[in-house]
Amino acid sequence: MFGVHGTGDTSGYGGLVRATPAPDRASDVAVRPYGGWFDEVADQLAPAQPEVVIHRGEITFRVRREHLLAVLRTLRDELRFELCSGVSGVHYPSDTGGELHAVYHLLSMTFNRRVRVETSAPDDDPHVPSGVAIYPTLDWHERETYDMFGIVFDGHPALTRILMPDDWPGHPQRKDYPLGGIPVDYHGATIPPPDERRSYS
């Protein structure tokens, strides 16, 4: 079924694996001049020494986590990026020393401009400073990123799970999280693991 050979199990429990390479940082970094207003923004963020990536006409600033809050403040206060629409988590298990990425999406309603800010943290120290004091819209987004990826946002006013139960083990959107085989008890109904309930033969 669906062109899968072998067990036919499309749940992933049967061991279907797809390698996801870490981003190739060296080949992604753009060089000046970036063009248009990109140079103006890059000049303002220069003290943080960001890596600049331009892909498909969009700009991303990669910064070290210790510079994250200064970069967000500069974008809000000096460059008029009034809205941070959220933070997304990404997990690159092969990006040694920076396996967990937090990606912020910002919009300047004044100038109709969009930028991304990306920072990373290692698996063994998954801490990133919270941006809630700068952009209050990050409150629930940081909670979701913590819940799904395990990134700890230091300084968040109430960093608790938002989607999964408080006692849920692990973080479901990480690439090392099992894709199936976990029996679930939901409101008194027991849902067996996928390998026990699906058969395509």
Measured distance CA(147)–CA(22) in Å, rounded: 22
The b-or-e profile of 96-129 (16+ CB within 10 A means b, else e) is eebbbbbbbbbebeeeebebbbbbbbebeebebb
Q: Is the pLDDT of residue 73 over 90?
A: yes
- For the segment 126-165, what is each residue's pLDDT rounded down to a tens digit? 999 999 999 999 999 999 999 999 999 999 999 999 998 8
Helix, strand or coil, per DSSP, at residue 41: helix
Q: Which amino acid is at 37?
A: W
The SS3 of residue 117 is strand
What does pLDDT average to over the chain? 85
Place 108 in a pLDDT band, splitting at 50, 70 and 90. Answer: very high
114's tokens:
């969009």
How far is the C-alpha of 69 from the C-alpha of 133, rounded, in Å?
9
Q: Token pair of 102, please?
A: 């937090």
Using alpha carbons, list the distances in angstroms from residue 157 to 65, 139, 169: 19, 8, 22
β-bridge mates for residue 189, sequence order? 186
Residue 195, strand partner residues:
none
Structural domain boundaries in the chain: 25-197
User: Among 51-55, 95-99, 106-110, 192-196, where is mean pLDDT lowest?
Assistant: 192-196
pTM of the model: 0.79
Q: Tell me, what's the pLDDT at 1?
A: 42
CB atoms within 10 A of CB 131: 27
Q: Which residue has the tokens 């992604």?
A: 28
Q: What is the CATH code for 25-197? A: 3.30.460.80
Mean pLDDT of 27-53: 90
DSSP state of 82: -
Query: Which residues have CB under 8 Å from 195's CB, separation 6+?
Result: 9, 11, 13, 14, 180, 181
Separation between Cα atoms, residue 194 and residue 11, nearest integer Å:
7
